[in-house]
């Protein structure tokens, strides 16, 4: 039994009217811990459990850590999440609510990650937030569900952080025989590591993350994501933080679901411009995200000026 749920697939009239295409929302914001991450993380945790793991370790203070905490609780396995001091109180509360042991260490992610790696015992599994074929296999179920629903989109829009969702969705497209369906891969300015890879022809590290879309804040995409730029029609798009934040607010009004700016980035492509007018049926991956409050989103918006 997988841990993730089959999420609703609904047509968005507001986004359709604005973009000129029929826009189908895959509502993964409704997964139990608030994002698509549970698909891949749940699968990875189940496989590692079957292989004997009895302790999960994560260094993500975001939705990946939450999904590991959730999966561990479901399997009755203790979970340790090491997060940097920059992690919000809300994120720490959500992790604690899932029963995870939360250790705060270091001023940035790489320090937290270093400590996390020292906590691994013989029976521990380290669950990576995006760079793991088990994760991609789990994320691919999102596309299987769309196929089962009888919809073949002629484009998919999704957000990219480290590229795990991208790798999973492309795997899902390919295993359903949809090699021709392009993916519009969206990042925010200040977190555009796939865009950097598309310019360089390989995965490269960007200097720093400056975007408010913290869930997209991987300095370098995984090698597989960079490879897919050559092997599948993937178009890299970049939107501003302001556009992503506006999309969050508008989506809350239109569909009564609050998502993180990371997800707002993908939604902004439909809200902001004509990028989708060339398509008939667009699949919008509403990846969700549980760590931003409405208050925080409005504060960030005010700071954009
Ligand atoms: C993790 C995450 C992303 C980015 O996914 P990657 O697999 O890192 O590319 C996008 N949106 C949300 C809400 C996330 O939690």
Residues 180 and 237 in one domain: yes
Average pLDDT in the chain: 96
Tell how strand 9-12 and strand 22-27 pair up. Answer: antiparallel
Cα(64)–Cα(35) distance, integer angstroms? 9
pLDDT in tens, 139-178: 999 999 999 999 999 999 999 999 999 999 999 999 999 9
161 and 283 share a domain?
A: yes
**From atom 15 of ligand 1, which residue's Cα is the shortest distance away?**
63
Q: Tell which of 69, 102, 130 closes a domain.
A: 130
Beta carbon of 288 within 6 Å of any ligand 1 atom: yes
Q: What is the model's pTM?
A: 0.97
pLDDT at residue 196 is higher than 80: yes
Q: Which one of 169, 289, 292, 297 would you pick to mutate in the ligand 1 pocket, going by the greatest count of ligand atoms within 8 A of its CB?
A: 289
Strand 22-27 vs strand 281-286: parallel, antiparallel, or unpaired?
A: parallel
DSSP 34: S
**CATH number of the domain within which 217 lies:** 3.40.50.1100
Q: Examine the fold and report which residue of 130, 151, 177 is the final residue of a domain before the chain moves on.
A: 130
Kindly state whether residue 214 falls inside one of the protein's structural domains: yes
| pLDDT exceeds 70 at position 243 | yes
Residues 222 and 114 in one domain: no
Are 94 and 187 within one domain? no
- Answer yes or no: do 157 and 191 share one domain: yes
Atom 5, ligand 1: which residue's CA is nearest? 161
Q: Give me the pLDDT at residue 153, please.
A: 98
Q: Which helix (H) or strand (E) holds 116?
A: helix 109-118
Q: Which residues contact 256 (CB under 8 A, 6 or more apart)?
A: none
Can you give the pLDDT at residue 280? 97
In the numeric block, the tokens 């609904």 are attached to: 10
For the stretch 63-90, pLDDT in tens is 999 999 999 999 999 999 999 888 888 9
Residue burial 185-198, b: 16+ Cβ < 10 Å; e: rest: bbbbbbbbbbbbbb
pLDDT tops 70 at residue 40: yes
> Is residue 305 pLDDT above 70, yes or no?
no
Q: What is the mean pLDDT of residues 252-278?
A: 96
| Same-domain pairing of 94 and 145 | no
| Arithmetic mean of pLDDT, 255-270 | 98
pLDDT at 109: 83
Q: Is the pLDDT of residue 273 over 80?
A: no
Q: Would 184 be classed as within a structural domain? A: yes
What's the confidence (pLDDT) of residue 227? 98
pLDDT tens by residue, 118-143: 999 999 999 999 999 999 999 999 99
165 and 113, same structural domain? no
pLDDT over 90 percentage in the chain: 92
pLDDT 10s digits, 92-105: 999 999 999 999 99
Full strand arrangement of the beta sheet holding 55-58: 101-104, 79-83, 55-58, 124-126
Q: Which region holds residue 186: left if phi is over 0, alpha if psi is between -120 and 50, else beta?
A: beta
Residue 106 CA to residue 109 CA, distance in Å, equals: 7
Q: Clarify whether residues 22 and 60 are in a common domain.
A: no
Check whether residue 104 and residue 157 sit in a common domain: no
Q: Are residues 225 and 180 in the same domain?
A: yes
CA 212 to ligand 1 centroid distance, Å? 13
Residue minimizing CA distance to atom 2 of ligand 1: 215
Span 110-122, mean pLDDT? 94
Instruction: Establish if 265 belongs to a structural domain.
Output: yes
Question: Is 119 domain-assigned?
Answer: yes
Which atom number of ligand 1 is nearest to the Cα of residue 129? 8
**Å from CA of 262 to ligand 1 middle:** 7
pLDDT at 1: 78
Provide the total of helices (H) and of strands (E) in the chain, helices listed first.
13, 10
Over residues 27-31, mean pLDDT: 98
Nearest to 110 by CA among 66, 59, 175, 74: 59
Q: Is residue 2 a part of any domain in this protein?
A: no
If asked whether residues 30 and 57 sit together in one domain, one would say no
- Percent of the chain surpassing pLDDT 70: 100
Going by CA atoms, what residue is nearest to atom 4 of ligand 1?
Answer: 161
- Looking at the fold, whether 59 and 13 belong to one and the same domain comes out as no
In which domain, by residue range, is 82 found? 38-130
Total tally of structural domains belonging to the chain: 2
DSSP string, 240-255: -HHHHHHHHHHHHHHH
Contact 112, 91 (CB under 8 A): no
Q: With 70 as the cut, is the pLDDT of residue 30 above it?
A: yes
Task: Tell me, using a 6 A CB cutoff, whether residue 138 lines ligand 1.
Answer: no
How far apart, in whole angstroms, are the C-alpha atoms of residue 141 and residue 156? 14
Q: Is residue 264 part of a domain?
A: yes
């Amino acid at each position: 039994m997988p841990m993730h749920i089959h999420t609703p697939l609904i047509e968005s009239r507001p986004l359709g009217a604005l973009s000129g295409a029929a826009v189908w929302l895959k509502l993964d914001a409704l997964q139990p811990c608030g994002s698509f991450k549970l698909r891949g993380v749940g699968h990875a945790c189940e496989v590692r459990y079957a292989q004997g793991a009895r302790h999960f370790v994560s260094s993500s203070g975001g939705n990946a850590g939450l999904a590991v905490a959730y999966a561990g609780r479901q399997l009755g396995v203790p979970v340790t999440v090491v997060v940097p001091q920059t992690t919000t109180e809300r994120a720490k509360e959500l992790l604690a609510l899932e029963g995870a042991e939360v250790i705060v260490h270091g001023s940035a992610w790489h320090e937290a990650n270093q400590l996390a790696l020292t906590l691994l015992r013989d029976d521990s599994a380290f669950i990576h937030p995006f760079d793991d074929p088990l994760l991609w296999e789990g994320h691919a179920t999102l596309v299987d569900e769309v196929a089962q629903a009888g919809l073949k989109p002629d484009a998919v829009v999704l957000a990219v952080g480290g590229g795990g969702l991208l790798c999973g969705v492309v795997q899902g497209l390919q295993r359903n025989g949809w090699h021709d369906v392009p993916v519009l891969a969206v990042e925010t300015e200040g977190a555009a590591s796939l865009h950097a890879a598309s310019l360089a022809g390989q995965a490269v590290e960007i200097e720093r993350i400056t975007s408010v879309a913290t869930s997209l804040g991987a300095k370098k995409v995984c090698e597989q994501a960079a490879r897919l730029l050559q092997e599948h029609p993937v178009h890299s798009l970049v939107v501003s933080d302001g556009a992503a934040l506006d999309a969050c607010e508008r989506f809350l009004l239109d569909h009564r679901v609050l998502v993180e700016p990371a997800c707002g980035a993908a939604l902004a492509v439909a809200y902001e411009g004509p990028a989708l007018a060339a398509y008939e049926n667009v699949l919008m991956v509403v990846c969700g995200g549980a760590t931003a409050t409405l208050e925080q989103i409005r504060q960030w918006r005010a700071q954009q000026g």
